[in-house]
């Protein structure tokens, strides 16, 4: 919640919390603005209600859901399924705060390794992941169905 003091606007710190079903319309807006082949609303609903391996989080900034991140935890390995920030909120370190929270949740859940796939062309995301110690571990050829772009598999031991 934003407060105003005179002419200066004081913003509350962004918060990261568990995604709820009611968040899905906002998350879907972020998804469609971020990915060429977005997940459907049904997929998000199933991930939250049926997938026992899945945990999803949103980051709120001044009451707006500005981003989300999904993670699967299978035994002791965490896999980031997707992460995205609304285009108008990028460059404000919200992705960094969100990713840090999700990594912390993976550690608390007992994960020993975290991995993800990222487009070869997505240098800003690769830079973010490197900040958290992720390193390239391989290439998945033609991974992305929209343009057959390769994915870099990145991982880190937690």
A 10 A CB-CB count for 4 gives 8
Task: Find all residues with CB under 8 Å of 15, minimum gap 6, and list them.
Answer: 59, 60
Over residues 19-45, the mean pLDDT reads: 97
Active-site residue, selected from the candidate residues 47, 62, 129, 144: 129
- Share the mean pLDDT of the chain: 92
Q: Is 117 a catalytic residue?
A: yes
Residue 145 has pLDDT above 60, yes or no: yes
Name the pairing type of β-strands 77-85 and 113-119. parallel
* Direct distance between the N- and C-terminal alpha carbons of the chain, in angstroms, rounded to an integer: 34
Q: What is the CATH number of the domain that holds 152?
A: 3.40.630.30
pLDDT > 90 in the chain, percent:
91
Query: From CA 138, how far away is CA 151, in angstroms rounded?
Result: 8
- For the entire predicted model, the pTM comes to 0.89
Q: Is 56 a catalytic residue?
A: no
Active-site residue, selected from the candidate residues 45, 62, 117, 143: 117
pLDDT of residue 10: 39
Local confidence band at 23 (pLDDT 50, 70, 90 cut-offs): very high
pLDDT of residue 8: 37
Number of domains in the chain: 1
Query: From CA 132, how far away is CA 122, in angstroms rounded?
Result: 16
Domain extent at residue 24: 3-157
């Amino acid at each position: 919640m934003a407060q105003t003091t005179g002419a200066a606007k004081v913003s509350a710190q962004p918060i990261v919390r568990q995604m709820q079903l009611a968040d899905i319309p906002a998350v879907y807006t972020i998804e469609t603005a971020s990915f060429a082949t977005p997940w459907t609303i049904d997929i998000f609903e199933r991930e939250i209600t049926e997938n026992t391996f899945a945990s999803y989080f949103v980051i709120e900034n001044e009451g707006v859901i500005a981003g989300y991140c999904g993670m699967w935890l299978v035994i002791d390995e965490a896999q980031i399924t997707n992460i995205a920030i609304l285009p108008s909120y990028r460059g404000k370190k919200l992705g960094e705060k969100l990713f840090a929270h999700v990594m912390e949740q993976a550690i608390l859940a007992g994960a020993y390794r975290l991995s993800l796939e990222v487009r070869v062309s997505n240098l800003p995301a690769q830079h973010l992941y490197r900040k958290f110690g992720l390193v390239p571990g391989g290439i998945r050829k033609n991974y992305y169905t929209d343009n057959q772009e390769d994915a870099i598999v990145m991982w880190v031991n937690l």
